[in-house]
Chains A and B, each alone.
Chain A
């Protein structure tokens, strides 16, 4: 580059110089840093959120577990109450309160007309094993 200017330059009004604007380009490390920072924050928030969800789920499970044990306890208590109310002692007490009395003579077993006939010809009665389904039908198909 050569210069051919020889004339005395006129005085020109002073113009404030400013650097030419240019698009500043971010450096690669800065972008990576930003990304990592965001990723870290996102991960942290996600982890916290996930943990909260887990904790909520666990609390829900605990609550259900407690409900199950309460219901189970209730079931067991009622089971006990049912068995107690069905005990012969309480039934006798309840019957006596209703005015019922024990018979002086033992009750006699009667065959009801029309009821299924069991062998009772005098030579043979129904036997437990031979006639299980008739004699002990309330106990299932066999001993």
Chain B
């Protein structure tokens, strides 16, 4: 009996000794290695995406926002039948079955995307399959609730929510926010263990930005421009509406013309924001700079009579003429009213190339505007010492130079603002992650011409709309000042000729509040700015004045 007890005791003692030795080995000698293996098996650090800031119009309407969607990921190391998985998942999440199969078959990997940013209904169908090794991550997706409204201005983001174009790209650093990190604990089947996750770094939401764009004015501008592009058979069109006193851009529209496949319509996402990125020859709308410079330099007044306007004029080796017959003597105001090329060239030559060049640059040509828009165009003005024999014939009437629509609108905004340039802007405030709004100060104005010159030019521009080439730009109840422009696109000599038609102006002329520009690219029928662009200007301005609660002037 005692012997048996002794043997039993010895066996148990040996067993415990063995277990103890093994424990010591595991806990002491292999501890670090085993711990790291265990941690590696259970814990995964995942990036928690920061919610991207929203983009609001000036009235707080959301133009772009991020909404959490579900990204389905797999742990291929625990998936034993990737072919079956792919066959079940691919039709639900609408991905290529073979590609998915290849991703899931990589058993050395512990992470593979099944589908990104999937809607809730699809996620529910996938969950119902009860497949082990799948995880579900929340990932924000960018939405533009108003569809294509202002798409070229807003831009777009890529799959990883990085801004790739437009304001999304320009304000990427503000909108993006800061991603966080979380450590999640999972069982061998890849399922999250409740209570096993903890956050290392909290994600910080990106800033919201508040635009100067007004959704209703933008929508109307796009609608009117689309109708006008359609009816004029134009290749495309662009329009801008701006607040004269603040420089706030209230609408910036880009419209594509009709093709054999689809009718004319607002440019879709991914299209460049042409009012800021595409240059065109402005034609007669540029005459206002010649006139303003000559009046500012006291070379002429609106009432100064200019002779020999009725015929042609030769500058260098080129003969310039007018489309319509004009009397041989016209006042400066009449020259602008009837858009006389000959009269304008005579005045420009009286101004001289140095001062003409000065005013072109002072009004903002030759450099980008303050918008700082990605890809904003800046046509390099011809340096004064490189003027050729015909430069002072073509440039004063808007040929041989190129500007963006926003640059040309800026010229008229300056005139409307009493000669003070009010730099344009598209963003008026930001809202940080704590919800605090930070209004951006108005950009500093600078004087370009005197108030008296601006007033004189405004009066002349009013006559253009009242009796001249821009009568179609009249807005019932308001006094409108503006100028038509029609420029032939290169190649100039060979038919078929192609034109750019435009109208730019502001209202009410006696106390300007809003300025707008409409540009039609290659209208196929009538191509004069006064006939195809001015009517669209009138409709856009009419609605914008109402939206801005500008009372009509009796």
Question: Residues of A with Cβ closer than 8 Å to B?
Answer: 55, 58-59, 61-62, 69, 72-73, 76-77, 79-80, 83-84, 86-89, 92, 106-111, 118, 120, 122-129, 135-136, 138-139, 143
CB distance from B506 to the nearest CB of A (A): 12
Give A28 Cβ to nearest chain B Cβ, in Å.
Answer: 27
User: Would A106 and B243 count as touching, CB distance under 8 A?
Assistant: no
Binding site for A on B (CB under 8 A): 58-59, 61-62, 65, 67-68, 120, 138, 143, 145-149, 194-195, 215-216, 219, 223, 243-246, 428, 439, 442, 475-477, 508, 510-511, 513, 538-539, 542-543, 545-546, 548-554
Contact of B58 among A69, A77, A83, A139 (CB under 8 A): A139
* Cβ A89 vs Cβ B146 within 8 A: yes
Closest chain A residue to B220 by CB distance?
A88
Q: How many A-B residue pairs have CB under 8 A?
A: 116
In the complex, A79→B61 CA distance in Å? 11
Q: Is there contact, CB below 8 Å, between A126 and B146? A: no
Cα(A109)–Cα(B476), bound, Å: 9
Mind listing 24 A-B residue pairs with CB under 8 Å? A58-B194, A69-B138, A73-B120, A77-B67, A79-B65, A80-B67, A83-B62, A83-B145, A83-B146, A87-B149, A88-B215, A106-B476, A106-B539, A107-B546, A109-B477, A109-B542, A109-B551, A111-B551, A120-B554, A125-B508, A128-B513, A129-B245, A129-B246, A143-B246
- Interfacial chain B residues near A143, Cβ < 8 Å: 246, 428, 439, 442
Residue of B120, B511, B539, B548 contacting most chain A CB atoms (<10 Å): B511
Tell me, rounded to whole Å, the shortest Cβ–Cβ distance linking A61 to chain B: 8
The answer to whether A122 and B553 touch across the interface, beta carbons within 8 angstroms, is: yes
8 further A-B pairs in the complex, CB-CB below 8 A; given A83-B61, A118-B551: A76-B68, A79-B67, A83-B145, A109-B550, A120-B552, A127-B511, A136-B549, A143-B428
CB distance from B78 to the nearest CB of A (A): 22
Residue of B nearest to A59 (CB): B194
Complex-state Cα separation, A94 to B533, whole angstroms: 29
Complexed CA–CA distance, A25 and B83 (Å): 76
B419 smallest CB distance to A (angstroms): 16
| Most central of B138, B149, B195, B428 by chain A CB within 10 Å | B195
Give complex CA distance A42, B553 in Å.
Answer: 91
